Amino acid sequence: GQQVMQIPQYQHVQEGEDFTTYCNSSTTLSNIQWYKQRPGGHPVFLIQLVKSGEVKKQKRLTFQFGEAKKNSSLHITATQTTDVGTYFCAAGNTPLVFGKGTRLSVIA
């Protein structure tokens, strides 16, 4: 099955700094999804990327799917304390296989 590696495992940033998490696979992915899990919460769907080289934006969040469809990134511009949580990438189909996640902490 498809497996995805995610880095970094942890990231501590000052409020206002940017943040990026990366997701990599050794195989070509049909699609990739990103989820956010707040502390004490459950994973919540953010976005899905399907096309090679696709870039999608949600306010301060920018999601990118690599040209070879083997990697993806999530970039947050000017982090806020509300961005705190763990960001997971996930790939595959019914069900998804999740990366280990990147835990983001934001220091005010």
Partner 1 sequence: SAVISQKPSRDICQRGTSLTIQCQVDSQVTMMFWYRQQPGQSLTLIATANQGSEATYESGFVIDKFPISRPNLTFSTLTVSNMSPEDSSIYLCSVWGQGTDTQYFGPGTRLTVL
Which residues in this chain contact partner 1 in the complex, by CB under 8 A? Answer: 31, 33, 41-45, 48, 88, 90, 93-101, 103
The least distance separating partner 1 from the CB of residue 90, rounded to whole angstroms, comes to 8
Cβ-based burial of 32 (10 A; exposed 0-12, middle 13-18, buried ≥19): buried
* Cβ nearer to partner 1, comparing 62 with 98: 98
The least distance separating partner 1 from the CB of residue 72, rounded to whole angstroms, comes to 15
* Cβ nearer to partner 1, comparing 76 with 89: 89
The least distance separating partner 1 from the CB of residue 57, rounded to whole angstroms, comes to 19
Task: With CA atoms as reference, report the closest residue to 98 among 40, 37, 54.
Answer: 37
* Cβ nearer to partner 1, comparing 44 with 107: 44
Beta strands in the chain, from DSSP E residues, in sequence order:
5-7, 10-14, 19-24, 32-37, 44-49, 55-58, 61-65, 71-76, 85-91, 97-98, 102-107
